[in-house]
Amino acid sequence: MVDSDLLRHGQSLGLQSQTLDSADAVMTLILSPKLNGHDPYAYLKDVLTKLTTQKKAIDELLPHNWSPASISKV
């Protein structure tokens, strides 16, 4: 989630809460794999590739379950 100081700062700059929500979502996508010890780029590339082909076992794609060894060469 967006830090409350950042939220206040964003609001003081006139940013809409929708913009701040979008920033929050992007930061979550980047920080979740990082907090689980993964390279965010490698994680996102692998997951976004697999989402189009892998319909089962979506749980395996969550940052806390994903492993770099599952990277497919494209």
Contacts for 48 with CB less than 8 Å, ≥ 6 apart: none
25-62 pLDDT per residue, tens: 778 888 888 998 999 999 889 988 888 877 777 888 88
The structure tokens listed for 35 are 């907090």
* pLDDT(1) > 50: no
The structure tokens listed for 45 are 């590339």
Distance CA 59, CA 72 (A): 17
Please give the model's pTM, rounded to 2 decimal places. Answer: 0.58
The structure tokens listed for 73 are 């060469």
The structure tokens listed for 31 are 């920080």
* pLDDT(71) > 70: no
